[in-house]
Amino acid sequence: MCKFSSNKKETHQNFSGILGGFNLSSWKNDGKYHGNSGCYIFSVTPKFHLYLPQFSNSSDAKKYTYLNNADHHGGERPGLGFGKTKDEKFRIWIDGLEPENSYVEAQDETFCPGSLINEGSNFINVKIIEKIIHW
């Protein structure tokens, strides 16, 4: 989960929230996609939303989670991602180098469509990242 702040470009209105993702499988730090249909993404505030995987035969629909905490995995940027859009963006991206470059998209090929944050904004400034482990 992460706490974020952002603003709507049209109104310059600031807002904050909490969003996250759940990965049922083990995280692998190799700059490749992993996970399975037990993964999901969610927001807690400003509104609660839960998006489960879509069922599709597309190879992009199998791109659940991504982790790269070093800048040496195929030249890919360090960070944490969930889902994949048609234009090769993540549904949720937490940038490992510059948290202000983190973003959220309203839809992707992996999870059901819908906004995780307020409409009209997709860049988020990550304030706090919490790792929650449930035994």
Q: Is residue 30 part of a domain?
A: yes
Q: Please say whether the beta carbons of 41 and 18 come within 8 A.
A: no
pLDDT in tens, 32-48: 889 998 999 999 887 89
What is the mean predicted confidence (pLDDT) over 103-121?
83
Q: Is residue 134 part of a domain?
A: no
Alpha carbons 43 and 37: distance in angstroms, whole number: 18
Neighbouring CB atoms inside 10 A of 124's CB total 28
What is the mean predicted confidence (pLDDT) over 100-129?
78
Which structural domain, as residue segments, surrounds residue 117? 2-129
Q: Is residue 77 part of a domain?
A: yes
Number of domains, the chain: 1
Q: Is residue 135 part of a domain?
A: no
Quote the pTM value: 0.81
